[in-house]
Structure 1
Amino acid sequence: MRAFGLIDRSLSRLVSWVAQALMWSAVAAGFYQVLARFILASPSAWSEAWTRAAIIWAVMLGMALAFRQGAMLGVDLLHNLLAPRKARLLEHLVLLIVVGFLGFLVWIGADMSWRVRFQSTPSLGVSISWIYLSIPTGALLALFGALAYWAEGPRRLHIETV
């Protein structure tokens, strides 16, 4: 179990670092696009495509991080109203729905990545399947994150009223 925890923490750190690097590169490329277009009067062909691709990848990786923290699995109001045993059953139901949806995203994303493998982005000169690959990658990482969050056990949220 310690090995699983180490792998989980290391993978989460790596995914977080990559997502942050992608966001910073998108900001830099977007800034360069504005600078090139309006200051240098010579629009860049690659920066808009890179910004879009980097943001797509960052969002999909960020989704995986959110699932690992349980941020996208909550049915908080209903969960807090239920007894602990029924609340855990609700967690199982939510996890089952999430696993089904993320599994579907992995399947469809992998299929789409395969179908567009011969198309390329004109401005970047790479296969567009590298961009589509963000869907199954992010969904698979989110699936592992959701399972790891669920495996940690039941949670009780305490909402204070004023």
Structure 2
Amino acid sequence: MNRIMQLIALIVSRILAGLMLAIVLTVLWQVFSRYVLQSPSAFSEEVSRFLLIWLGCLGATYCYQKDSHLSLDIVANKLAPSNKLRLDIFCHSIVFIFSLIVMVFGGGYLVSITLNPVQTSAVLGMKMAYIYTILPISGLVFCFTAIDKMKNIIQQLSQLTTKRV
């Protein structure tokens, strides 16, 4: 499971790097066309907005994978190690439930309702369902990561209880 999670993290990091490069180039083109060519590009604003949506969703999954997301650990730091691990399991289970219900099922529903009837973007004419597919994709990554984190915590918790006995 750890190897699979490392592969997922590697894939997500590469996609994030590509998205960052694409958004920088798109915004540079927008600035260049607006100020140098005196003819603002119509598509670059919409493309950069869509790239930002993907970047935000995938970036959140990457931060969760690397434990670099924002958290308040004031209460957790005051708990005994076994209770802290139990709190971590609770928090990861909440992340799993939210990701499954809201992002996977809700995002999948959003994709399906924008496919029929087809909803398209204003400038590019792209199906919005393609943009919204990042919700169930990132939701699945969140779910897999939460399961992996809970599995690791349960192993740590069993080691703690074994040491006590």
Question: How high is the TM-score relative to the length of structure 2?
Answer: 0.84
Higher percent of residues as helix: 2
Give the aligned length.
Answer: 152
Q: Structure 2: where are the runs of 5+ without partners?
A: 158-165
Match of 1:84 among 76, 81, 86: 81
The CA deviation at 1:122 is 3.1
Q: Report Cα offsets for 1:51-87 as digits up to 9, x if no partner.
A: 0111110111111111112234844222221112211
Q: Report Cα offsets for 1:117-138 as digits up to 9, x if no partner.
A: 2111132232011111111111
Q: Structure 1: where are the runs of 5+ without partners?
A: 156-162
Identity %: 28
- The answer to whether the aligner puts 1:33 opposite 2:40 as a matched pair is no
Question: How high is the TM-score relative to the length of structure 1?
Answer: 0.85
2:108 maps to which residue? 110
What aligned pairs does 1:8-23 form with structure 2 within 5 A after superposition?
8-23=5-20
- The answer to whether the aligner puts 1:147 opposite 2:144 as a matched pair is no
Check whether the contact 1:36–1:44 (CA below 8 A) recurs between aligned residues. Answer: yes
What aligned pairs does 1:65-84 form with structure 2 within 5 A after superposition?
65-72=62-69, 74-84=71-81
Distance 2:150 2:6 in 1: 15
**RMSD, aligned α-carbons:** 1.8
The CA deviation at 1:21 is 0.7
